[in-house]
Chain A
Amino acid sequence: MKKGFFSFNKKKKQPASLAGLMLLTLLLPLLESCLTNTAEKSTRRSQQGVINNSNTVATGFGRILQDNPIILTGNPNLNPGFNIDMLLQLDQDFIVNDQFLSKTCINNIASCMSVTADQNTPQFNSSDAKWAYPGNSLEFLQVNTFGHLSKTIDRFHEDLQDLHTLTWGNIPFGPTYNTAIPEFIFPNNGHWMGTSNLKTFANCDVINDARFDPAAFTICLGRDLEFDDVKFAQDNTVIYHEFGHALNMIAMNMRNNTLGLIEKSDLGYLFYDEAGSIGEGLADYASYMMTYPQRPHIGEWALGRFNLQSRPLREDDPLHVAGLDTEDDSRLSYPQYLLYDPNQPEKPIEDVHYAGQIISHFLVALTEDFMSSSYCGMTQKLATSYVMYMVVESLAELGDISALGSDNNTVGYVNLNQVHALEWIKNNKPINFRSFSQAIAKNVNRIMNDFGNPRCAGGVYNKDRLERLLDSYGLLLFKNYNEDGNQEFLGHVGGNNLVNDTNRLKTVLIPKDLLMYDPNSGASKAFIIDGRSNVKSAYDNLSASGQVGSLSSQIEADLPFNNGNARVSPGELVGISLNLYNDSNSEMAGIQILANDWDHVKWDDTALPKPYKKGKLCNTFGDNFPLSSEGAADTSAEANPSLNAGDCNYITRDNGDQLNEQLAPVCFVEISEASATKWGLQEEFRESIALEPSNCLSGSSDTRDCFIRMLKGADQAIYSKINPKANYGQSIALPGQTINFSFSNIIFMEISPWIPPGTTFNCRFRTRFSNCEDCYNNDNFSKDDHLDYEFSGGEAFKLINFQFTVID
């Protein structure tokens, strides 16, 4: 026998052993696989639940909870410390074919999402890429989080791809409507936040909190206050909700990211505003979208079991009060249920999560219409996908900072222009229940009411049905679908799809003149917050959250001049909340008080370079204030409306950037002259008392707000609703309760230390509300929406003058 490495010496006594060893070596991998398969076949529930370990799953697989523990056990009184393994199913769930919990998204975004236990712990390594761990372990918690997030991301991207095909895939004709979805969304990673990694922390060290951080692009899932082992990440609906916030962010900035814009739009800017409420409702809907079969409730375990804060998504939920129903006349409607917490219905609470329920319930109802055999007969998956198409289209348009709203539109279709788009989204034309409902309705019509592309059981989803459904939720707040957008020259051109007024039975629109100061005898004009401790705390919170910027260098940061005397004094940072009253017989909602600069001054020194400093106040806003004798601008030679930039009857087209136009601060000052007083600009007053420009609140570079300056970011206030024949305080507090205000109810003003005591100011605030009859539409153009530039002026608003005298 030829001798070689593998030749056998006949004289050796262990050829069988050697052969056996070689055979074993060769067969070992096969044996392992066989063992695994055998293990799979014999995976069983022991008395301790499913045996969830590497031996019982294939590579890339693991097990996650199919729903939250309350649902899986059917026990609403489930106590903490239970054995999670008892809730696992035998079937395996695909997790990831990798050693780490990191996901790759479409368009090869490597590591688009990853999960760790918390911020301090690196990713744990599953060397065999198997993800089966004991149910009560930290590893399981991370795998559970990853599994649910991964499914949601896949679903979101699948829907986006389908929507892209539905629009841009209509080759060679292109989209059948002006879709907000960018044509090149995927190559430019507009379907994600670029190539960012959504880092998720399954066991964050926060109590009774879950958080989405857009700046860091992280999700933090905390735990219960009382029970350490009750983790938010055990509740899939909470995971879906938090990703829902990320989804909102991506949708709002889809166009901004595709175009590479730096700044981003947010869905909500104040502690309470309607945009934030819509965001919460959408995040709740994300949970409904992902649970199967559809489960219209969120947070039974993490929010509901120990905190009584779970939320229903449909009116027939047992948690709801009697009287709510899925019949059209019994819906969770706006604004009636804005302050409604189903867990404590007797207590009105102004909170975005409760207000958001109106949106979540509406979207569920819309989905169920699409599923109903009476309408479209779709499966749940298809119906929720279609609703998501409409949501994404709406957010992508409303959040567009490029002001295009679509690849095929002209700049200004939405949000005025790119320079001022964020000002529109934040202040001048923020997303509210009206604009969101209008956008959703427009997109429902475009996609589901297209006779050329029948998508509803071979037919279309009727416009009247849509309007009646919206109306049943009090959301038929718009008069036309505004397909022509808001651009200066094109906003009134083209067909105008009008709402059928006979469909508006429940939604009530109120004339803006019925919003006023409380007319009752002895009622005050405003509430003042100027106590040092309170205002300092408010400013600390507002600046730490990024809502407001820096104080003027003229205001000492420690606020030593804040004296709590409920008067406006020099050197103070003062919070004011106007005592507004609803003089109608219906609820008024989404009241916004704007204190930002606007176009209400006629400038005299336009021959000089900007900033203009000399001018007179316009009195062309219906209230004839101030009088000509009180210093108002002369408009006798002006046409109305005027086409001449600079006139009072002309509204700036680009928020004050064009020649002869410039915005002015809301506050002006009473100036004493030889024989009379007049109302004049702050700059004029500065000159009259010979104050150096460097002593102005904005410094010498801008003396227009020399003495009273609104704190940017806190230059608007929102009231959720005002009851009929009542003021806001009476609407938000129970009888006998002290009226307290949240951050979003308060406008903060910086008061210059240089103001001579006894000086009187008037601040001309612009106000409006979401269910306003005459704030949004131009009856001269068949009820078409006002063009965007008009929101630089005063016509679309109700003006409220707030006068005060500065005392020492």
Chain B
Amino acid sequence: MKKILFLSFIIMLLGGIITLQDQIDSLISDSQIIEEDSWTTYEKKEDKLVQSPSTSKELKKIGAEQTKKKSLIPKRSLSSVQMKPKNYKTYQGRRIIGHIKKDMNDINFINKVEKTWKDKLSEKLLQHRDRQAKLFIKSENSVIKIQNGSARYLEQVNITFLFKGDDSNSFKAFVDSETGEILNTWNRSIHDKVNVKAIKFTPDGTL
């Protein structure tokens, strides 16, 4: 009898360990650390712009990339061999794009970096918007663009507007690091709306 009980105990213990391992794996997969300082949420409340670090719930809503917590059990993965190393120059910790110059020290910068560039950008995007929306801005890269002999500090950002329900628009942009002005955009959302009338404008008149 004792031996039966002991055997049963061993079986149950083994079963328990297996179940626990599943839960640990599940926990590791599900738990995520959000780099909350790289995504910022902006919203207009009573004619004022309010900002806050984006929460994980908000980021899930916009399908944002999230950084996973390091696994307690190291996972093995094959190394990724890069046959052609990425080749770009940097200056002041920023990647240089455009007309690359050998000597960056005598180049003329047409703007400077302001810490408030993100706030200025959000103000331009939200201040006079009628349609209720939450705005999410994520910094992705800081660059220096050189053109016509001059250099400009730019920020590469990911911008998402979240409207009612799961309706959203997102795009990437280069933004002036001083004024928050959008210079260029790409990767804009593609909607396949069905039976939704296109927005049209009736002219006010002719010239």
Contact = CB atoms under 8 A, between A and B. Distances in A.
Nearest to A225: B195
Nearest to B68: A111
B34 interface: no
Contacts of A125: 26
A557 B127 contact: yes
Interface in B38-54: none
Interface string B181-203: 11111111111111110111111
B80 A545 contact: no
Given A119-B166, A215-B188, A804-B207, A188 B83 contact: yes
Contacts of B72: none
Interface string B113-152: 0000000000011011111010000000101000111000
Interface in A118-151: 118-120, 122-123, 125, 127
Interface string A455-481: 000000000000000000000000000
Contact of B186 (A264, A279, A536): A264
A263 B174 contact: yes
Interface stretch (A201-209, A486-494, A621-629): A201-209
A260 B187 contact: no
B102 interface: no
Interface string A598-620: 00000000000111000000000
A266 interface: yes
Interface residues of A, number: 118
Contacts, number: 259
Interface string A248-272: 0100000000101011111011010
A241 B129 CA distance: 33
A191 to B, nearest CB: 13
B106 interface: no
Interface string B141-182: 101000111000000101111000111111111100000111
Contact of B3 (A5, A215, A656, A713): A5
Contact of A265 (B124, B127, B186): B186
A119 B195 contact: no
A184 B83 contact: yes
Contacts of B124: 550-551, 557
Contacts of A70: none
A657 B141 CA distance: 26
B7 interface: yes
Secondary structure of the A contact surface, majority rule:
loop
Interface in A188-244: 188-189, 196-197, 199, 201, 204-216, 218, 220, 222, 225, 238, 241-242
A302 B192 CA distance: 12
Contacts of A547: 185, 188
Interface stretch (A43-51, A520-528, A791-799): A520-528
Question: What are the 5 tightest A-B residue pairs by CB atom distance, in nearest-first order?
Answer: A566-B205, A546-B171, A524-B206, A549-B182, A740-B200
Given A188-B83, A208-B193, 18 more contacts: A196-B65, A206-B167, A214-B188, A215-B160, A220-B166, A262-B95, A262-B97, A263-B174, A265-B186, A422-B184, A544-B129, A545-B171, A566-B206, A739-B203, A740-B201, A742-B198, A742-B199, A742-B201
Interface of B: 1, 3-4, 7, 11, 22, 25-26, 29-30, 57, 60-65, 77-78, 80-84, 86-88, 95, 97-99, 110, 124-125, 127-131, 133, 141, 143, 147-149, 156, 158-161, 165-174, 180-196, 198-207
Interface of A: 5, 14, 17-18, 21-22, 25, 99-100, 107-108, 110, 118-120, 122-123, 125, 127, 184, 187-189, 196-197, 199, 201, 204-216, 218, 220, 222, 225, 238, 241-242, 245, 249, 258, 260, 262-266, 268-269, 271, 279, 302-303, 307-309, 350-351, 353, 419, 422, 524-531, 534, 536-538, 540-541, 543-547, 549-551, 557-558, 564-568, 575-577, 579, 609-611, 656-657, 701, 713, 738-743, 746, 804
